[in-house]
Structure 1
Amino acid sequence: MKAGYYVGNFEYEVRDIPDRDPKSDEVKIRVAWCGLCGTDIHKFQGKNGASVVIPPIILGHECSGIVTAVGPKCKYFKVGDRVACDPSWGCGKCIWCQRGLPNFCLERHGVAKGFSEYVYPPEKNVYHIADSLDLESAAFTEPLSCAIHGLDLLNIKSGKTIAMYGMGAIGSLMLQLIRFTGAAKIIVIERDKAKRELALDLGATVAVTDQEIEEIAKEENIDYVVECIGLKATMEQAIQIAGKNAKVLLFGLGDPEEPISFNQFEAYTKELSIFTSYLNPLCSDRAVRLLESGLIDTKKIVSARLTLEEMGKELKTLEYAKKGKVLVSVSGEH
């Protein structure tokens, strides 16, 4: 089968690797679609994603597909099932798994390398999807589940003002979740005009630039700030514009070589709470249910549908990733 590898030194290759039968409780899935994540881009650029990266490594983890075989101990799936994957495996036994935080599992690793024709996750990482949900949209299960976990941390109260940075793929999902919190006002901060228009289309009250938000923050208290870009400048500004007793979520994956700084005394006098969000513990089922409901619009987020071979150029240029979600069409089934 074909698989797309990051091989190190800013290089990507599509390789032929052996296919195999599923073992134990594994579910063999013919991948239909896989999203390009910001962590994939970080890996390609020689940085770590959610874990330490040692190339060569198959990229991708946001995948959906069709079950083609099951292992002898698999109970809940059969050939022909339409499914989505949670790529992050937890042992279920260590202290962090026992606390309901498998994202911190002492043995955590990825089990669905989606830039390949087949993946073999254990059935506890596989989710049935309704026939009404197309496989392309189902590939948003993993990023949506991460966004759900991030917002869970904030425990947002209704009737508040929320500011959100960035209308990339994850920001476009996050905005749609924020819409359901009962916010009185949703302010999106985005430099790109077309993306500001998308923000209004997807439910923002107003969409402004990073210069304009500073003026707004002088006039009204911003209760929650969600940063979905991961740049040093936007993370620092997110903390700066937060109002009194505000909560700030630094969701965007920052560069480990560019730590941020902020005025601790100012944060103290405003009594800020600053959160970060790591992976998607036990949120995949909720993501699938939301996608099945039709409440989340994924079609307006997709900027390109590429082949495994075309991903090499995209990883170097980010031509489409800068505009929205890039999807890899592996089998292209719907």
Structure 2
Amino acid sequence: MSAVFVVPVGEAPSGGHVYDERLAGALASAGRPLRTVAVPGGWPRPDAAARARLDAVLAELPDGSTVLLDGLVACGVPEVVVPHTGRLRTVVLVHLPLADETGLAPDAARDLAEREGRVLRAAARVVATSAAAAADVAARHGVHGVHAVPPGVDPAPPARGTDGASHLLCVASLTPRKGHETLLDALALVRGPAWSCECVGPLGAAGRVAELRARAGSLPVRFVGARTGPDLRAAYDAADLVVLPSRAETYGMVVTEALARAVPVVATSVGGVPEALGRDPHGRRPGLLVPPQDPAALGDALRRWLTDASLRERLRDAARLRRRNLAGWEEAARAMAAVLNREVAR
């Protein structure tokens, strides 16, 4: 019997939506299909109609069914999910702990954390997208044996870049968690060689875009909005360096998408990002890691990249070698299938 995968309706490109879609496809190719059910709503705080829709989806499943729930849908509504955990084999996939979204009021963060904990402790299995995220979820919610299923990455040709140094690319939605303020403040500190930076990702609220553009001032930074398909591939192909200045990440799929094209990365050392960056067979990182919310450290890393040709060559060489041993989606599918099959056999 195939399992059911309950996911949020995707209105804008995001790593979570890509993970869900690519994982479902890889599981189907591996002979472990999931029937995907997309539930509309303002998750993780849906209205009554969305909660009723999710409850109906779960109620329609026969007793003993295995259901994989995207944590964005499941973790904010324990009053809907927990009553079904006694008769369904529920596996919850945590892309990002709900309380880790930047900008939440303290009371809202505490409420979301409490709700998430109730759901995860009631679930039969919990999955996170990196070993670091799995350990964090287990510790913060008292859940034993959280499984790590990192995302895969699709093969891609090496990027052609521009001049090998000056074109920087940041692929991230313009939410506070992604750290664009830190990036702009860091870029303002960079002096010397010319550079340009393209920020690709959903723009969100108009006020947010205006604020970031005002902060950028006369810096050669462009906010171009969401890109998918050929347009996103073209953005990566033109990049000399990918920058990810996030305040929090459970993995950082942008990192492996860059490395699949042999593009080095400068990123913050949060969550699973060091796992995603990894090392080449010689133990070298194909990029630089800096503390989060530290414009001086990020600016120094970018300055070193722009001014030190030998550093650039070392990082590019490490990225070329790291590219060869990146995990594909078939590996993610095998790991998730092992979790689901273990649950079916319980």
TM normalised by structure 1 equals 0.31
Greater strand share, structure number: 1
Higher relative contact order (CA 8 A, sep 6+): 1
Please identify which structure carries the higher helix content: 2
